[in-house]
Amino acid sequence: MSVRSWLCTGDGLSELDRAPGDLPGVLAGLTGSAYLWVELGDPSAEELRTLGEHLGLPGIVLQDAGHHHQRPKSDTVEDLRVWVLKTLWYLEPTSQIETGDLAVVLGRNLLVTVRHGRGDPVPQARARLTGGGKLLGRGPLGAVYALVSVLVDDYLSAAAEVAKDVTELERDLFAGPRIDAVKPLYSLRREILEFRDAIAPMEPVADDFLDQRSPDAYLRELARHVRRAAQSVRSSEELIGSLLNAHLGQISMWQNEDMRKISGWAAIIAAPTLLAGIYGMNFDDMPELHWRFGYPAVLLVMALTCWLLYRAFRRNGWL
């Protein structure tokens, strides 16, 4: 069973080399702000069930922690607080956003984190706990704050990259030659919607433990970051929708321009075709057939007709 456990006190964090069956004894001896942090990454149902039996976790908590692709939420089960949060990371080569899940179970002297997906905020959160500040002395709730701060920083970073992609696509649409950007626009819109689905439920969840009325400046700053990331995603979503509508209008306008050009050239070609069809009948009573300059005159009339039509269409913007 792949479980990492940490003993967290006011002096720092130390990894425990203990079997899962020994964790209840460690937990029973903790007092004050000291707590046991148990970390799992992509566990199986059997691993979660075994850990739940050792730590006495209710079945509904294990169910929340074991399911992948859940919406963020906050819940209270007996004396435990349970949060399901979304991890998120931006892939630079493909401009795609990938998401995962992080289940956080908070008890009096216990913190359990269960990760699904490649995004793992736990190492950075541990670094922030041990990097100074007051979070380490706040017990397991301080670790939750550190985890959320890492997630929100990832959200802000991804939001900035998405906004940059939208700006670049907007510049390509309106400052360069014709491009068919329907597929890139829909692709980027899909990534933004995935981003929105990940962060939108985080706002009420964040408000649940980031109380805006708290005098704690750290909590207020985290709350502002949550709002800033959510607002950035909403702005990108609105802009990409406007760009998509504008581009569809662009395509319609280009099609109209092309149809005008096709119609103009068809009319120019039709004029000499009409004359050639008439004189190609070779009726004997056509005087031009016996006139020395009849053939050059007809060619001249064709050329003059084409030039007049071209000039008229050009003046009207059809060509």
Model confidence pLDDT, tens digit, residues 153-207: 888 888 888 888 888 888 888 776 777 778 888 888 888 888 887 777 777 766 6
Strands 110-116 and 35-41: parallel
Q: What's residue 205's pLDDT?
A: 60
pLDDT at 82 over 80: yes
Q: If we measure between CA atoms, which residue out of 119, 107, 117, 104 comes closest to residue 39?
A: 104
> Same CATH fold, 251-315 and 4-250?
no
Q: What's residue 111's pLDDT?
A: 92
Name the CATH superfamily housing domain 4-250: CorA soluble domain-like (3.30.460.20)
Q: Tell me: the pLDDT tens digits for 13-65?
A: 888 888 878 888 888 888 888 899 999 888 888 888 888 888 888 888 888 78
- Comparing 119-123, 172-176, 268-272, which segment has the lowest mean pLDDT? 172-176
Question: What is the residue extent of each domain of the chain?
Answer: 4-250, 251-315
pLDDT at 210 over 70: no
Please state the rounded mean pLDDT for residues 236-251: 84
For 43, 92, 105, 121, 267, the CA distances from 3, given in Å and listed in that order, are 9, 31, 15, 16, 78
Q: Which CATH architecture has domain 251-315?
A: Up-down Bundle (1.20)
Please state the rounded mean pLDDT for residues 299-312: 87
The rounded distance, in Å, linking the Cα atoms of 276 and 3 is 89
